[in-house]
Amino acid sequence: MRVLVVDDEAPARERLLRMLEPLDSYTVCGEAATGQAALALAAEHQPDILLMDIRMPGMDGLEAARHLLVLEQPPAIIFTTAYSDHALEAFEMHAVDYLLKPVRRERLAEALANARRLTRVQAAALRQAVEQGTARTRICARVRGSLQLIPVEEVRYFLADQKYLTVATPGGQVLIEETLKSLEDEFREQFIRVHRNALVAVRFLRGLEKDTSGHYRVLLDGVDECLEVSRRHVADVRQRIKLLQS
């Protein structure tokens, strides 16, 4: 089984690598010092198991675990950390196991023996944790075999089209497989629904206009598209624009 080792401290990674070396059933496919690097390597190498630290600068292990759901075959996750207070949250994230540092060889072997690829039930539970937990700071999309992270603060709108959602930023558009309702619940302070198929970023609202057909459209800073506003949402959008301009 392919194992990816993730820890921001080089000595901790080296310790795990040494303990993995004599285990014939496991092959190290890479090592990473950050959550972002872990996502890139996971997309490239498709590991079966991640040994991942929780507390890392930038993107911690828990957030990285959430983004790994974008992969077609998410790996099993074994968290490693020096802080036992993360245990409950880690298991709620449906990690295969949770190892306290310094990791003991016997405990590592036991956790690896129990590790398998994420089941559908575990993946569903992870998605539920995303919806119920702290709002993400990034959206993760699978683009041509790699994982692309989009800062939420750069997103202008989410637009639903059948099973996919378009995420629009000044730099372009990507597609993700999430529901508009889950995004609305997660980012309700930052985005407002303007149509049954669209959420727009409140901070980038510029104005409302009426087209020749009598339909309202919302104008957003940073993108050329003008999204249609359904009549039931016009009053809310107009009120938000007034608040921004006051």
Over residues 133-154, the pLDDT tens digits come to 567 889 999 888 789 999 999 9
Domain at 33, CATH number: 3.40.50.2300
Residue 228 has pLDDT above 90, yes or no: yes
Q: What is the mean pLDDT of residues 205-227?
A: 93
Q: Where are the alpha helices (DSSP H) in the chain?
A: 10-20, 35-45, 61-67, 87-92, 105-114, 120-132, 180-186, 231-245
Q: Looking at the structure, do residues 16 and 126 belong to the same domain, yes or no?
A: yes
In this predicted structure, the answer to whether residue 132 has a pLDDT above a threshold of 80 is no
Do both 68 and 144 map to the same domain? no
Domains in the chain, number: 2
User: Is residue 22 located within the same domain as residue 125?
Assistant: yes
pLDDT-derived band of residue 118, with 50, 70 and 90 as boundaries?
low
Domain endpoint, select from 132, 166, 200? 132
pLDDT of 154? 97
CA distance linking residue 214 with residue 218, whole number of Å: 13
| Percentage of the chain exceeding pLDDT 90 | 59
Q: What is the pLDDT of residue 179?
A: 92
Residues 66 and 128 in one domain: yes
pTM for the full model? 0.74
Shared domain for 21 and 109, answered yes or no, is yes
Tell me: do 21 and 65 sit in the same domain.
yes
pLDDT at position 220 is: 96
Domain boundaries, position 107:
2-132
The model's pLDDT over 151-184, given as tens digits with 9 standing for 90+, comes to 999 999 999 988 899 999 999 999 998 899 989 9
Q: What would the pLDDT profile of 46-74 be if each residue is shown by its tens digit?
A: 999 999 998 899 888 888 988 888 888 88
User: CA 89 to CA 140: how far, in whole Å?
Assistant: 21
CATH value at residue 207: 2.40.50.1020
Average pLDDT along the chain? 88
d(CA 237, CA 208): 8
